[in-house]
Structure 1
Amino acid sequence: MAQKKSASTQQEVKSELVFTKKNYQLLLISIAIVVVGFILMMGTTGDIYDFRRTLLAPLVVLFGFAFGIYAILKK
């Protein structure tokens, strides 16, 4: 004997996404920043100890990772 549940007792299960569209946009921006940092790290000149390769590029990559953490934690 199956009993029918009335419409008032049925609760509609609402599935919400964990991230919003803004979170995904910020995450894509952070991935782009990390990629730019790695491109800067590759360099075009033969000098390994260049300012761009040793200081600027790692800072850009770290900023990209930090921005990615911000994009994940943002509500």
Structure 2
Amino acid sequence: MNNPHFAFTKKNYILMLIGIGIIILGFTIIGLDSEPHGFGFLGLTLGPIVTLAGFLFQFYAIFYRSEKK
């Protein structure tokens, strides 16, 4: 009982921070669209794809397991 077991390791937290950064980048790309109401390529295509990739990366970061035991 002296050795507490945490659900996430340091690498999980680093990967989660990277995922949050990718999500923020996606929303920033959406906001940079110069078309009215974000109806251009950045607002409708590139930004949402980057944001979705960030969320998928978050799932990877949460489920990542190091092989060291």
Q: Where on the TM-score scale, by shorter chain, does this alignment land: which range? A: 0.7 to 0.9
For 1:15 and 1:35, locate their aligned partners in 2 and report how far apart those are by CA, in whole Å: 33
Q: Is the 8 A contact 2:23 2:55 kept in 1?
A: yes
In the alignment of these two chains, the number of paired residues is: 63
What residue is the counterpart of 1:37 in the other structure?
26
5+ unaligned residues in a row in structure 2: which ranges? Answer: none
Q: CA RMSD in A?
A: 1.2
TM, length-normalised to structure 2? 0.84
Deviations 1:13-37 (A, max 9, x none): 0201110110000000000000000
Higher helix share: 2
5+ unaligned residues in a row in structure 1: which ranges? Answer: 1-12
Q: After the TM superposition, list the runs of 4 or more consecutive aligned residues in structure 1 that deviate by more than 3 angstroms.
A: none
TM, length-normalised to structure 1? 0.78
What residue is the counterpart of 1:4 in the other structure?
none
